[in-house]
Structure formats: structure tokens, C-alpha cells
Chain A
Amino acid sequence: METEQLMINMGPVHPSTHGVCRFKLIMNGEIIRDIIPVIGYLHRGTEKLGEMKTYLQFVPYTDRLDYISAMPNNYAFVKAVEELCGIEVPRRAEYIRVIVMELNRIVNHLVAIGSWLLDLGASTMIMYGFREREKVLSLYEMLCGARMTFNYIRFGGVRDDLPPGFIEKTREFLKEMPSRIADYEALLNDNEIFLMRMKNIGYISAKDAINIGVTGPTLRGSDVDYDIRKLQPYSVYEEFDFKACVRKEGDSYARYMVRIDEMRESLKIVEQALNNLPEGKVVSQTPGIGTYRWAPSTVSTFFPRIFNPPKGEVYSRVEAPKGELGFYVVSDGTNKPYRVKIRSPSFCNLNAIGTMVRGLKIPDLIAAFASIDIVLGDVDR
């Protein structure tokens, strides 16, 4: 009997993919032989725009890269430029940055798990996830006025101080969140259908993962302890007591457990930060960054109009919720960057889909693909 290999196109517009990502599947009956991802449907040219805008004008563009958790993206770019200039940031600003970034990590994992289960056909978890997300977004709205694209972390500190009432509301959120996470675990951990669809699907070994360049919870689910907050601590992460969550099995279920554990660790970090919040200013007063007063004393921040970093290059990386996010900035002394290159976690993680999925069927592809947790704004930039 003659057989042929069939190529199926899982097109850019599909209710299961997280955005506009296209797959060409080469099938042998029902089994997948090979998979070719085709990307570039959301390529907007952010790096070229980086050469046309000034440093302060480029910060909102970094929000739109990984649009589910926008604060770490802001912070990665700001950290790179601060390292280049040698700006010292006051401690209160660093604590506020840590609080805001860890809350964003919780939001990201909620949306990730929620949409993962929506792909598998269950609509309960996404309702729970978005209910908790609304509470965090109302905190952010109190802080900086926006729900998704914040533009809050600036060079030398943050945009504005914490408003009155923020700390009490955050403490209320911290009190009720652990019981919600226990709800999610009770719903999913021992669920037969969930286990059947997740265990032993999408396996990747530690050696393969390191060679392909996978980072983040995807790597920590395969028994490699790589968390940039522990190995190359930045900001004030050395003063907090938390652990990096690692699991041994390397399949989709392990990655799910890593995300649930990380949510709990983030809650611990936020509580410690709120307890030890120091007093002081929220914007650096380093000479050379410039002072330009544009409002009376109700606004506690000064931002420079003309901001010229010295000549040089820098590469700095940050532990974003999806992996290692790095910015490579080349400056030539003017007020616009010469080159900005973004090393995004989703672009490098998507490379691993080939090894994970060979020999499985299409519904397993959907479960494994959602466990890598990519966002197309990050892949295509």
C-alpha cells in the first residue's frame, strides 16, 4: 500500500495558538514526524524604532514586547542603561521595583495556566485566573494609571511614589491569595483527566534544554537550577529569603508545578519587601543625570529632557517570568541609542518545540506548546 507524508498547516489564525503563530506539520497518519514553526506575522520593527527614538521615548515600546507582564521588560532596558551610566538607585525605589515585578510574575503565571487549560477544553481555571488578575490590575491602576502597559520604571528610580492606601490593599491581597492557590491545586493536581493529558507529554532532557538555549520555568522543570535572581543577583534580591523552584521530571506536569511553586515564592518576597520598606526618595539624585523641574513640589520626580549616556556597550539580563530577557545597548554619546538588541525568552524557547513533540499526536502538541508559555509579541518583536 502506498503511503505519503501529509503536510498540514496550522494557520496563523487558530483558536488554540497564543497569537499569530503558524506551524507546518509533517504527518505520517496521526503521528507528527516533524514540525516547522513559521513566525514573523507580528514583526513590528521595534529594534529599528529604537534607533530613531530617544532613550526615554523607547521605554513604552519595551512594554509591548511581553505584554502580559510589562514591568520586567521596562526594568531590563532601564537596568542596561543604568549600568552603562553608573547611576545609583535609591533603596526605596529598588524595593518598589521588586514589589511591582513580583506581582507581575503572579499575574503572568495565572494567565499562562488559565489559557493553557482553555486550550485543553476547561474553562474554569481561566475564570479564576482573570478574577485574581483584576485585583492586581486595580492595584497597578492606583499606582500608575494603566492596566497593561505601565511605563512606570524609569532611569534612576520609578515614576512616582506609592499612593496612600496602596500598602493596605496589597496586604489584603496577600492574605487571601494563598487560599486561592490551594483552590487551584485542589482542582487540578490529582485530576485524572489533567494527569492523563500532562504526564509524560513534551519531555525534554536537561542536556538538550541547555544546548537549545531554553531558559525560565521550562528549564527548571528539567532539573537545572538556573535562576538569575540567585546566580547573578541584581537589584535588592540578595536581601530576600526565597528559593528557586526546580522539578525533576521534565514533562509538562513538572512545568505546571514549577509555576505554582513560583507563585507562592513571589508572595513571600512581596510580604518581606512590604515589611522592610525603607523611607527616602524614589528618584536618583546622581549628578549628571540632569534635573528638569516640570511641576510644583507635588510631583516627587525630576526627569531630564536631554539624557546622554557615555559611549560604550552593555549587555544585561533579567529573570522575566518567561525566561531570560536581555538587552544589548550600544551608545555613541548622543541622546538616541545606536543599536538596541532584544534577547527575548520566547524566541529561544520556541526552538525547543521540535524535540518535544516528535512522535506525538496533534492534541499533545497543543498541550506541550502551551506549557512552553510563549507570547508572540516577544517572539517577533
Chain B
Amino acid sequence: MIIDAIKSKFPGSIIGTGALVDKPMLIIKKDDILKVCEYAHELGFDHLSLITGVDYRDHFEVIYNLWSYSNKQDLVLKVMLDHENPKVQSVVSVWKSADWLERETYDLVGITFEGHPNLIRILLPDGWEGHPLRRDYDMQKEQYVLISETGEDIVTPDPSKALRPGKY
């Protein structure tokens, strides 16, 4: 029912349908995600539970989980992105909870959200190199954190200043 309403309004945007065990799922084109989200917000989906990114080796996926308090329904939206240049529009203007969820996805998976007011790292320090949850992240490379004189973090791969010398 909800799917039919969205299909009739945006016929060209939907690429596929599916189900996440028992929740209806729609795969949307990358450029239309903001319009579909605004329409879903009007239909009554006012709680954004989750925004995630997953790295399959040849493409990225971004998943949005929505819930409606008034109709008591779930909806899942998915967007497929290229591997070289993962960019998608930000939905901060619709739900404010997307603020920190998108920052975390940028930090750990490396997907850029256009239109986000403050897209900087949130869980890792600012100068960290690499995005850990990608499949090609090098776990053998160690990076250490020092404090500068102003109190901000500096990230270096050099352990000589960070660790105690000698045997422990």
C-alpha cells in the first residue's frame, strides 16, 4: 500500500523491490533519494532508525530504516553507489537524527553526503588515514595519537613519541 503510493508518485525512481525478512524494501536511484524521503516523511514516517553503509567489493550500499509512529509500519530504502566515487545527498533537512548517523557513516565507511552542514570525523580523531570498515583497510598499519599544544589531536604512524622506550 505504501509501496504503491510511492510507486505512483515517483515511477522512474524505483529500481527494485524486496524484503528484509518481513519489512518492505525499495531500491531507489541515487539522485532521487531526497525527494522520496520527503514524501515518506509526509506519509507519516517520522522516525529514522538507522543509516548504514556496507562495502561489497564492487559497489557500496546505503540503507535507511524508517518507522511510522502513527501507522505502525516499517520501510527500508536502499541506494547503490559506485566504488570509486561514493556520494549521495544528505537527508538532514528531513530528519535531524541523520546528522550524527551520516557523520559516522562518513567516518567509518567513507561515503560523502552532499549538503551536510558539518561533515567531519566523529569517532576517530581528525587526522586518521583510511576508513576502517572498508574491506581494503590495512590492519597492520598502526597509527598513534599525540596531543598538540592547543589540545587537539595529531595522528602519526611513528611510535617513538607515543610509547615508553625500553622493555616493559
Verify whether A and B have any Cβ pair under 8 Å.
yes
Is B122 part of the binding interface, using a Cβ–Cβ cutoff of 8 Å? yes
| Min C-beta distance of B69 to chain A, whole Å | 6
Choose one: A40, A213, A314, A338; the contact of B123 (CB below 8 Å).
Answer: A40
Contacts of B20 in A (CB 8 A): 313-315
- CA A315 – CA B21 in complex, angstroms? 8
Closest chain B residue, CB of each to CB of A38: B122
- CA A338 – CA B57 in complex, angstroms? 12
Closest chain A residue, CB of each to CB of B23: A315
Choose one: A39, A315, A339; the contact of B50 (CB below 8 Å).
Answer: A315
Is B133 part of the binding interface, using a Cβ–Cβ cutoff of 8 Å? yes
**Assuming A226-B69, A312-B21, A380-B123, is B47 touching A213 (CB within 8 A)?**
yes
**Assuming A9-B151, A47-B108, A210-B47, is B54 touching A330 (CB within 8 A)?**
yes
Is B132 part of the binding interface, using a Cβ–Cβ cutoff of 8 Å? yes
Is A83 part of the binding interface, using a Cβ–Cβ cutoff of 8 Å? yes
Contacts of A326 in B (CB 8 A): 49-50, 65
**Assuming A39-B122, A351-B100, is B95 touching A339 (CB within 8 A)?**
no
Contacts of A9 in B (CB 8 A): 151
Is A180 part of the binding interface, using a Cβ–Cβ cutoff of 8 Å? no
**Assuming A313-B20, A328-B63, A330-B54, is B100 touching A47 (CB within 8 A)?**
no
Choose one: A45, A348, A381; the contact of B100 (CB below 8 Å).
Answer: A348
CB pairs A–B below 8 angstroms (22 shown) = A43-B124, A210-B47, A211-B95, A211-B96, A213-B48, A213-B95, A226-B69, A232-B72, A314-B21, A315-B20, A315-B23, A315-B65, A317-B49, A326-B49, A328-B50, A339-B54, A339-B133, A347-B100, A347-B104, A348-B97, A348-B101, A380-B123
Closest chain A residue, CB of each to CB of B98: A213
Is B80 part of the binding interface, using a Cβ–Cβ cutoff of 8 Å? no
Contacts of A125 in B (CB 8 A): none
Is B155 part of the binding interface, using a Cβ–Cβ cutoff of 8 Å? no
**Interface residue count on the A side (C-beta < 8 Å):** 36
Is A193 part of the binding interface, using a Cβ–Cβ cutoff of 8 Å? no
Having A40-B121, A328-B50, one finds 8 other A-B pairs with CB under 8 Å, namely: A47-B133, A48-B132, A212-B96, A224-B69, A315-B20, A328-B63, A348-B97, A351-B100
Is A84 part of the binding interface, using a Cβ–Cβ cutoff of 8 Å? yes
Is A262 part of the binding interface, using a Cβ–Cβ cutoff of 8 Å? no
**CB <8 Å contact, A43 and B96:** no
Is A63 part of the binding interface, using a Cβ–Cβ cutoff of 8 Å? no
Contacts of B65 in A (CB 8 A): 315, 326, 328
**CB <8 Å contact, B54 and A324:** no
Contacts of A210 in B (CB 8 A): 46-47, 69
Is B115 part of the binding interface, using a Cβ–Cβ cutoff of 8 Å? no
**Assuming A231-B72, A326-B49, is B124 touching A40 (CB within 8 A)?**
yes
Is B125 part of the binding interface, using a Cβ–Cβ cutoff of 8 Å? yes
- CA A43 – CA B124 in complex, angstroms? 7
**CB <8 Å contact, A324 and B69:** no
Is B99 part of the binding interface, using a Cβ–Cβ cutoff of 8 Å? yes
- CA A98 – CA B50 in complex, angstroms? 26
Interface flags for A1-19 (1: CB within 8 Å of B; 0: not) read 0000000010000000000
Is B52 part of the binding interface, using a Cβ–Cβ cutoff of 8 Å? yes
Is B76 part of the binding interface, using a Cβ–Cβ cutoff of 8 Å? yes
Contacts of A343 in B (CB 8 A): 49-50
Is A341 part of the binding interface, using a Cβ–Cβ cutoff of 8 Å? yes
**CB <8 Å contact, A328 and B52:** yes
| Min C-beta distance of A11 to chain B, whole Å | 9
